[in-house]
Chain A
Amino acid sequence: MPDSPAPALPEPDVAREWLTTMTLIRRFEERAGEMYARAKVGGFLHLSIGEEATIVGSARALREEDYLISTYRSHGHALVRGTPPENVMAELFGRVDGCSGGRGGSMHMFDLARRFMGGYGIVGGNLPIAAGIALASDYKGTEEVTLCTFGDGASNQGTFGETLNLAALWKLPVVFMVTNNQFGMGTALRRHSAVTDLQRKGESLGVPGMRCDGMDVLDTFAVLSEAVERVRADRSPVLVEAITYRFRGHSMADPEQYRSKEEVAHWRERDPLPSFAARLIEEGVIEEDERERIDAEAIAKVDRAVEFAEASPFPAPESLYDDVYVLDPDVRGWYSAPTSEESAGRGREATPPDTSEPAANDEIPQQLTHALAAGEDGRESTGAEA
């Protein structure tokens, strides 16, 4: 797609890490789909298989202190920022050790410590929030940039126009990245957007556009790096369109009657994972056996994530009211309506928020201690395993 020659490979270690993370996301998503079929996961499940290069190439253009904010299709975004797969899987399973304490589920991953500011279930809902995060970054005089990803379908929402205008007007450091996977659910791009050249959709709002090949992690990284550094320097937004394709259905309940097998097969020829691996082998960065080892390790990691999620307890019924409010013990009347159970929890009192520096990217699963404490005996009680 890009006219320019293919971008050069990064340092071998960096290239390896990208392949490793893309592989982890792919294997994680496949397993999540299996767990859904086995009813371990409830609700909706949106997989990003096919979009791994877009995810990794863009997130790796960020510094640790930069923010990433995403949509309901965000398991990969949590993983790329370093949220342990254990906590992401536990969230899918609705367990206390989930990265949102089992409150959010697939659509609402969150990891403040790693500056992953969440997945949001409302199409277009995350754009204004991204601008607000960027406003705070600027207000505090930091160099932080916010990367806000959303879908081609979301570019038709009111918040798209409102937020791009406002971000340009106020010169807010946001990279808006539209992940153009060709569909909003079952509606193809040309059937939902009058302008299909999505990078141009910000022009009338004062937001310049760029485009990357979202099936190529190198091109995505190159373009996003340019975008991120431009935004960091100018403190003014850009819109990047990443051209990609989702190989699986919109969610697990999608019979995919809106596209042909041939179309999917055509895009699969450009599968970002094997093509990047092939390039690394071709250029002598890795050998075939290392590729296999990376894959085996990803599978093993996902195995451990499933084990961890299985072992993690369900949240206790007593925790139902926790965190509806930040409770102040001196204030009365938070919950006035009586509930049938006298013993029902009224929510726990506030613990100070973690406003510290971004966490190191360690591999140790986060034990969400407060949730654990609340959840000890709640495991068998919800019946969700049935």
Chain B
Amino acid sequence: MAGMRYREALNAALREELARDQSVVLMGEDIGVFGGAFKVTDGLLAEFGEKRIRDTPISENTIVGIGVGAAMTGLRPVVELMTINFALLAFDQIVNHAAHIHYMFGGQVRVPLVVRMPQGAGHQLGPTHSHCLEALFLHVPGLLVAVPSTAADAKGLLKSAIREENPVIFIEHESLYGVRGEVPEGEDELVPFGLARIARAGSDVTIVGVSRMAVTAERAAETLASEHGVQAEVIDPRTLRPLDLETILVSVRKTNHCVIVEEGWPHGGVGANLAALVSEQAFDDLDAPVQRVTGADVPMPYSKPLEDIAYPHEPQIVQAALACLNRSKQSAPAGAAR
């Protein structure tokens, strides 16, 4: 194990995969000379040279499209977009092309492309730089979506993403770049896709936290334990596609209560989708309706007090968990067997 920041873990993953596989190429705006808008690619240009670490013009759709074409013909491009909001300019290449080419052409070619980008509120960047849009990508068959919340997952999942045969949308979180964590060493320490992480074990309520919200949910779980005597089980799905629904269902069958926390918008969100899946597949195990804690249904405002209340924090998660538990106490007939 080595202690490192989330950003350094990503950098290490890129460095190791670049060294391991000559077909890995990095492209993005200011990733080379500047070292990356969030310094994730710092030092890679000096180590691997211009042929492999490529500064691009500000042309999101075309950068992703170049990645698609290069991936179709043998490279493993990793494209960095400065923030997830800018990925909207590349939606054509991501959805109509990267996601669909394998299917549309009858399986003749693959698109082993990684598109990395950070998301998230908290830095007062306003409505064009702060959103959490993982639900948009989750919606699309053909894409894989990774949302690492720890340094170890950042490294292990990025390495898996680069070795993956399908296009991967790899979503980092701006507020996590500086967070330290213990990271397993070794070039083949991968975190597989489709395997959720139980961040904290518990028996009273299941809390699923997406992206940074896995971290916030863990803190909420500590408060729930210390102040309310409630043992929450916190699950970080790590990848939304493929989704390790099984781990979530097993937990729900044990706790009979489920809270889903995400930073993105409520309508058509990750939580809406997960709540539907849990209700469809574990309805009889639920003692209360699935609770959702989401970002506010507004464009992200700039002003600090407004921004603060526009995305979830610990207290809302604590409240949601308690409400979920109370609801079942109130509605359960006395002495009813489970």
A-to-B contact residues, CB < 8 Å = 67, 98-104, 108, 110-112, 117-118, 120-122, 125, 127-137, 139-140, 158-159, 162-163, 165-166, 169-170, 322-326, 328, 330-334, 336-338, 350-351, 353-355, 368, 370-371
Contacts and interface: CB of A to CB of B under 8 A. Distances in A.
A112 B110 CA distance: 11
Contact of B62 (A102, A127, A354): A127
A132 B57 contact: no
B242 interface: yes
Contact of B244 (A134, A170, A332): A332
B67 A132 contact: yes
B56 A166 contact: yes
A165 B57 contact: yes
B256 interface: no
A331 B194 CA distance: 6
B65 to A, nearest CB: 2
Given A136-B70, A136-B75, A103 B64 contact: no
Contact of B105 (A108, A162, A166): A108
Interface of B: 25, 51, 54, 56-57, 59, 61-75, 77, 92-93, 96-97, 101-110, 141-142, 144, 165-166, 192-195, 239, 241-246, 277, 280-281
Given A133-B70, A162-B62, A333-B194, A122 B244 contact: no
Contact of A159 (B61, B104, B192, B277): B61
Given A118-B105, A326-B165, 12 more contacts: A110-B108, A112-B108, A130-B69, A131-B62, A131-B65, A132-B73, A139-B70, A166-B57, A166-B66, A323-B103, A324-B141, A328-B165
A104 B105 contact: yes
A27 B74 CA distance: 36
A248 to B, nearest CB: 25
Contacts of B74: 136, 140, 355
Contacts of B67: 132
Contacts of A354: 108
Instruction: Among A121, A169, A337, find the residue whose CB has the most chain B CB atoms closer than 10 A.
Output: A337
A132 B242 contact: no
A16 B96 CA distance: 39
A323 B245 contact: no
Instruction: Among B66, B68, B93, B165, find the residue whose CB has the most chain A CB atoms closer than 10 A.
Output: B66
B215 to A, nearest CB: 22
The 4 A-B pairs with the shortest beta carbon distances in the complex, nearest first, are: A132-B69, A128-B65, A101-B106, A162-B62
A35 to B, nearest CB: 20
Contacts of B194: 331-334
Given A159-B65, A166-B62, A101 B107 contact: yes
Contacts of B65: 125, 127-129, 131-132, 159, 163
Contacts of A102: 106
B165 A333 contact: no
A170 B61 CA distance: 16
B142 A324 contact: yes
Nearest to A134: B69
Contacts of A103: 103-106
10 contacts: A98-B106, A99-B106, A103-B104, A110-B109, A128-B64, A322-B107, A325-B166, A331-B192, A332-B194, A333-B244
B45 to A, nearest CB: 15
A46 to B, nearest CB: 16
Contacts of B104: 100, 103-104, 108, 110
Nearest to A330: B192
Contact of B75 (A135, A334, A350): A135
A226 B242 CA distance: 49
Given A129-B97, A332-B194, A323 B107 contact: yes
Nearest to A350: B165
Contacts of B141: 324
Nearest to B99: A324
B108 A336 contact: no
B280 A100 contact: no
Contacts of B57: 162, 165-166, 169
